[in-house]
Each structure stands twice: as C-alpha cells, then as structure tokens.
Chain A
Amino acid sequence: MSAMASDITSGAPLIEAHGLTKHYQDFSLQGVDLTVDEGEIVGFVGQNGAGKSTTIKALLGLTTLDGGTARILGTDVNDLAHGSTGACIKEQIGVVFDTVSIPGHLRVADVGRVHARAFSQWSQHLFDQLVREFGLGTNKQVKDLSRGMGMKLSLACALSHDARLLVLDEATAGLDPMARDEILDRLRAFVETPGHAVLMSSHITSDLEKIADRVLCIEGGRIVFDLAKDEITDEMGIARCRVAEFEAVAASGIIPERELRYRKHDYGIDLLVPDRFAFARQFPNIPVDHMTIDDYMTLTLKGGVR
C-alpha cells in the first residue's frame, strides 16, 4: 500500500510500459510503449487483431512477456500474478473485457456476491445502486442479458470496488447511444477523483472524441501514433483537394516532405493537414474539414505518404 501512496504523491504514471514484446505463431506485439497518467482517459484504437487485447492482457499480467517492462500502479506486471502484492494491486484495478465475463447461469445478484468474495473494498450499496440505475433486474441470469446489459453489469462491477484504474476492452460495444453517453459520464466522473485514470480500447471513436485525453493507435503489434486527442480533433484537418491543388500544397512545403499523408478517391484527394488554421490561411480555396479520429486512423493506416 505504501507503493500506492507514493504513486499518488509522486504523480508517477498509473500504467507505464516500454518495449512490450510478445510472440505468437501468427502475431507479434513489437516493442509497445504506453503510459497512462493520473486523471487521464486514454483511448486505445486499432483494427481487429492489431494487438489491443494482447497489450491489455500483458498490462494486466495475464500473459507472460517475451520482452519489455510494464508497471501498473507502480508494480511490475509480472508480480500481479503472485502473492499478496499482486492481490493488493488488483484490488485497485477494474477490468471490463469485450464480453460479460461471468458464467451465464449466475444471476445479477450472484455476480455481486462473487465480486464481494473477491474484493475487500467491494461496495454492495454502490453495486445495488448501479444495478438499479442501469435497469438490470437482480434475478435475471447473465445468459439472458443482452450484450449491452451485460456490458453495463460488467461496468457496475468494475466501478463498485473502489478501483483507481479502469481498464476497459471494448466496454461500450453493443450499447445504444443513450447508454453509451451514460457510461461516458460515469467515466468522466471517475477520473475527476484524484489518483484515477482509464485505459479504454474502443472501435467507437466518437466515444473517444467525447472523453479521451489521449489516443493511441496500434497496428500489426506496433504503436503507430500516440497523440493528444485535441491535437487530432482541434488542430488537424482534412483538406479535400483536387489533383492540381494537391500538387500545389505539396510544392508549397507547408507540410514537411515525407509527412504528406493522403488518400485518393474517385472525386479527389483527402489530405492530412497538421494545422488546419494555418492551412486555411495559406490555401483559402481548399475546403478543410475537422479531423476525426476515424479520419486520422484511416489516413495513417491506409493512406499514402509523400
């Protein structure tokens, strides 16, 4: 517990990983670096099979690493699997996987009981309150819950044991927009408490645009970008060019050579613009739209570079 106290005061990252490497027969995690600081919501994006879940499993000490180091709440992830130190740290981590990870025959009330046995800081009162607010019947069996309801139950569990860190793997998948907003509000409230943070993998990038402070993207087991969300959505832009305009932009040098990212369409070329305000001043005739995380991912992962 003293390590935990020193983490809060020292402002050390809640998650700190360097060079994470893990080899499987058909996939490798290759030198993944990742940090999550206090008060942050970090969005973790990438295509299916890019390595998000493997990275999360590695960070939770659920898989042995072939290389690299990772610390979570100040403790080496290799120690999470053993002894009282690991147990003490895991008390402070709320985890939600992409499915409701509870045997299907259990009822919602039983799920609370299972967690009460597991977590010394379990708040049955908070769990009951969340179950009510989420509209989950306590007598309903897990197997009878819809995917969205199942995810709400998982979130209720993660939020009911006084965790400092939430690690969510596709937690908002399957939720309707209203429910997603409700969850996002809870996550915002969660990180407002000092010492808290969230690492959240998601394919729903519009959710991350609403709440993430930083966005990491993984592709083929490598981190391809790690940027402040505002840098993407507030500063960057996507210029809709015709071919001649694209050549003019390239020749102007406003975007450094070999950093000119573009994507060709039948009707023109989309161009990634690092500073859309400066670009608009220099090329007032070329329309520039706001950049979304989806656009940025598409241009980064599938676009050409010149």
Chain B
Amino acid sequence: MKRAYLIEMTVIRDYARQLFGLGIFVGLCTSLGMQSIVAIPGVLTCMYLIMGTIAGSAYDEQNNWGLYRLTMPVSRRDVVLGRYGVIATLGLLGMLAGFIATIALSLIAGVVPLPGDLSSSLGLTQDNVQAMVFSCAVCTIIGSAVASIETPIYFRLGQTKATQWIPMISVFLFIGPMVILGATGGLDNFAGIADAVRGLFAFIETPIGVVTSMAVAIVVACIILGISAAVSLKLYEQREL
C-alpha cells in the first residue's frame, strides 16, 4: 500500500502544490471579501478532499495510466488504499493551507491597520478560533462524505460524462437540506429537535465542545472513508480495465 501511495503522491504532487498555493490565495481573498477568517480552513479542507478525489481518478484515465499502474508491483487493493491515503493527505493539506492563510491574514491585520473594521474582524480571537475549528470539523465531514460517494463510483466506472456530475450532485445533497431548513425555519416546527440543536450549539461554543466536535468529525470521517474504501475494494476488483 505504501508503494501505491507514494506513486500516487508523486503523480499528484504538482497538482497538490498548485492547489496549496491557490488555496492560500483563495483563503486570503475570501477572508477579505467576507470580512471573516472563520470559514477558510473548513472550506479549503472540503475543497481539497473533493478536488483530490476528482484529480486522482482523472489521472487514472489519462493515457491508460490506471491500467499501466497495475503492471507495476502493486495490487488493486494497494491502489484503492493508496488513493484513500492520498485523499486524506490532500484534505489535511487543505486544512493546513486554510490555517496558514488565516494566521497570515490575522498577523497582517494585527500589524497593518486595514480599512473599515477589517483589522478587528480578522483577528485571532478565541471566538474566531472556536468557530474556525468547528466549521473545519463540519466541512471535514462533508468533504469526506462527498469523497466517499465519489471514489467508489470512479473506481467502478471511471470518469465519464455521467460520473463527472457526481461531485456537484453530492455537494447539493449535503448543502440542500441545510439551505432549505435555514430558509423555511423548518427545525422550529419540531420543538424537541430544535431544543436539542440549541443545546448542542451551546456545548460546541465552549472550548471543550469545539475540541470534541473536531474529534468526532475526524472519527466520523475515518469511518465513512473506511466504509467507502471497503466498497471501492470490491468494485475495483471487478472492474475490467
């Protein structure tokens, strides 16, 4: 598995570098635009998990690379596990890029007086840090879930015109219900659930709560990626390349 992981990382290295630089740039611009540093690590984590999945399978299709790789001393199992390793690595890279962009911006905001109220809103306050970690936790789950849906499908069918829509569809599947619930105030109709959610948010707003949410997110991401890997293993074994 290590071999397959290293091969995959070598193939994706240039793309990861570009993505890292782009991530920092996007992070800086978005933070300035939104006048908030809270969302950036989360957004980049989610984006990198999804982009890593798409890029990995896109390279498989190029020049029959997926077939040729199997003539190397790696098994299909190694290839699948290596791919999940790469996806996780890129997710961490996204998180890192997000935190670097955020910290850099906060430091700049602390030193250079920025127009309007930017300097204070971009500061690394405890509230901002907690919100950042929590958003990162939520986005880790969303990114992992999307990657977990996409990867087995790509391993079975490859990247086709049809399967290229899957990332967008799966993102909407996660975001859609939240948007609908937010817009309609849907949760308010279920008093028990609304109270529970309020209680959960109150807990998450504490330092212990935010750390717990991150830990839970990592465990959940590992579980769903693990289940997805098991499905991918079965599907890729059956694929005729």
Contact = CB atoms under 8 A, between A and B. Distances in A.
Interface of A: 57, 60, 62-63, 81-83, 86-88, 90-91, 93, 95, 97, 99-106, 110, 113-115, 117-120, 142
A188 to B, nearest CB: 23
Interface string B54-75: 0000010011110110111111
B65 A110 contact: no
Nearest to A112: B10
B3 interface: yes
10 contacts: A57-B241, A60-B70, A62-B70, A97-B67, A103-B65, A104-B63, A106-B11, A106-B14, A114-B11, A117-B3
Contact of A91 (B67, B73, B75): B73
Interface of B: 3, 6-7, 10-11, 13-15, 59, 62-65, 67-68, 70-77, 240-241
Task: Select the residue from B70, B71, B74 with max chain A CB neighbours within 10 A.
Answer: B71
Contacts, number: 78
Nearest to B62: A103
B233 to A, nearest CB: 12
A81 B10 contact: no
Nearest to B77: A82
B59 A93 contact: no
A216 B74 CA distance: 30
Contacts of B74: 87, 90, 118
The 10 closest A-B pairs by CB, nearest first: A101-B68, A87-B73, A95-B71, A118-B72, A117-B6, A90-B73, A103-B62, A103-B59, A101-B64, A117-B7
B72 A90 contact: yes
Given A110-B10, A117-B7, A118-B7, A102 B65 contact: yes
A63 B75 contact: no
Contacts of B6: 117
A63 to B, nearest CB: 6
Contacts of B76: 81
A103 B71 CA distance: 15
Nearest to A117: B6
B63 A101 contact: yes
Contact of A60 (B13, B14, B62, B71): B71
A103 B63 contact: yes
Contact of B63 (A110, A119, A142): A142
A87 B240 CA distance: 20
Nearest to A141: B14
A103 B73 contact: no
Contacts of B3: 87, 117-118
A276 B74 CA distance: 50
Contacts of B14: 105-106, 110
B75 A101 contact: no
Contacts of A82: 75, 77
A62 B73 contact: no
A119 B75 contact: no
A170 to B, nearest CB: 12
Contacts of B15: 105
Contact of B10 (A60, A90, A101, A117): A117
Contacts of A101: 63-65, 67-68
Contacts of A95: 68, 71
A97 B66 CA distance: 12
